Amino acid sequence: MGIDDLLEAWRVNNVVTLELLDMCPESTMELKPGKGKTIRSNFVHIIWVRSELIKEKFPKTGVAKLDWKTATRKEIREALVKTEGQMQDVFRRRFEKPSKFSLMTFFAHVIAHEANHRGQIEIALRLNDAEPAGEMVWYTWWDWAKK
């Protein structure tokens, strides 16, 4: 496995996150999975963590700054797209110059973090009877060959 394989997996991870955003109409953005973050703030948190990791490796890079209470779906989408590319640069840099954690450990941590927040968003939709129509919609996430 090389860096190109890792970057492809990262791209697909972002596609899945964008697909989830598409499943969340504006009317659902304030829903919560019980206590905790709203759907909107979960997406903004994902972007904020990416931005912090980007700033760590590229301090002069402009990063997305969104308000967790007011960010629009359009702003969230644009930030997810922008930070997807910027995170590819972070992964490349870590591949070329290893840090405290190996690239694979770092990558796994970032993916697990984002998957956790996608799960919170899915639970918020389900608990609030706002999940998308169609029983198969959640399973499409796992068909990475079609991403």
CATH code at position 9:
1.20.120.450
Task: Evaluate whether residue 45 is within a structural domain.
Answer: yes
What is d(CA 82, CA 63) in angstroms, rounded to the nearest whole number?
8
How many folded domains does the chain comprise?
A: 1
| Low pLDDT (below 50) residues in the chain | none
In a domain, 147, yes or no: no
Task: Note whether 57 and 89 are within 8 A (CB).
Answer: yes
Instruction: Name the phi and psi angles at 81, rounded to 5.
Output: -65, -45
Instruction: Supply the pLDDT for residue 99.
Output: 80
Evaluate whether residue 141 is within a structural domain: no
Q: Is 41 exposed, middle or buried (0-12, 13-18, 19+ CB in 10 A)?
A: buried
pLDDT for res 144: 67
Instruction: Tell me, yes or no, whether 109 lies in a domain.
Output: yes
Q: By residue range, what is the domain housing residue 35? A: 3-131
pLDDT score at 115:
96
Give the pLDDT of residue 137. Answer: 65
Task: Tell me if residue 112 falls in helix, strand or coil.
Answer: helix
Give pTM, 2 decimals.
0.91
DSSP 27: G
